Amino acid sequence: MAKRVAFITGGVSGMGLAVAQALSSRSNEDWDLHLIDLNESAGKLALASLKNAYFHKTNVTDWDSLIAAFESAFAKSGRIDFVFANAGIVERDNFYEKHDLSKPPPQPNQLSVDINLKSVVNTCYAALHYFRKSPKKDGPGPVLVMTASCGGLYPSEFCPMYSSAKAGVIQFNKAISYSYHLDGIRTYATAPGTIKTNLMSGEEWKSFPEQYFTPMSTLVKAVTHIIDGGDLEDSTGNHIKAADAYGLTVEVNRDNFYFREKNRFCDAEMEAMMKFTAMENQLARIERTKAQTNGTS
């Protein structure tokens, strides 16, 4: 099989590195692995555990830095087949902290939103361009996986910005999935349970009972399963034909992963109305507006 190329943000540790290591160790296919992160020392350590791997020091919240990484990876490998929009942090500020009522409150620290949502949106937007630019070949086709969280499915009181950003990732995946699929690109959002990574310190992890932790191996199993493509099946035996196996939310907890059901419409009228938000309808509207403008100018 021809070599495939991965672009992994947050790729020098945690889930990003674990997926990279799984792809690197495969005997039936070769991967070029491009690890995208700001931590240069961790990047050097990560490269030591991988073959055909490259590190790109990148600030994923900065568009120019992100695009430079895409350009460098594409120039090195000549294509991109898998993008893992995985960079993330957890907020540590008390959103509900009381402040001096005689003064305006300070601005909240929204770095969690910038990395967990905005950088994911930017990574997915750029991925579309480089997937289109990549030469077509046989195989499962390009795949885009973005990391959300169980906190995007179930509200997290202490981390409201983290929770809302991760919920945004889940909804963003659903919104883009059909249009990306028209370009032959499969998209997914993972919603991992509590996986012990460097997202938090050892002391912070002690506030969570270990019996509820999810092994990293379950996350890796879920991600590699959807990378491989074809018909997909989750831990409950829920089987999805290849033609429909895109735009899925993949919840990962303990030893299992689950394909979450799509949102149900409250009634037939809402279902009918939402069809008018489709690209086909809205592009037709834009073209009509242009024609009318040109006709009157």
Catalytically active residues are 162, 166
What is the spatial distance between Cα 134 and Cα 252, in angstroms, rounded to a whole number? 30
Gap between the Cα atoms of 163 and 151, Å rounded: 5
- Spell out the long-range contacts of 50-56 with Cβ–Cβ below 8 A and sequence spacing 24 or more: 50/20, 50/21, 50/24, 51/24, 52/3, 52/24, 53/20, 53/24, 55/12
Opening angle at CA 195, ends 193 and 200, nearest 5: 115
Q: Which residues contact 275 (CB under 8 A, 6 or more apart)?
A: 281
Q: What is the dihedral of CA 232, 152, 92, 90, to 10 degrees?
A: 20
Cα–Cα distance for residue pair 218/165, rounded to 1 Å = 23
Tokens of 214: 């999810």
Measured CA angle at 32 (ends 27, 35), to 5 deg: 120
- H helices within 52-136, ranges in order? 63-77, 111-113, 119-133
Number of alpha carbons in the 13 Å side-chain half-sphere of residue 114: 10
Q: Is 231 helix (H, G, I), strand (E, B) or coil?
A: coil
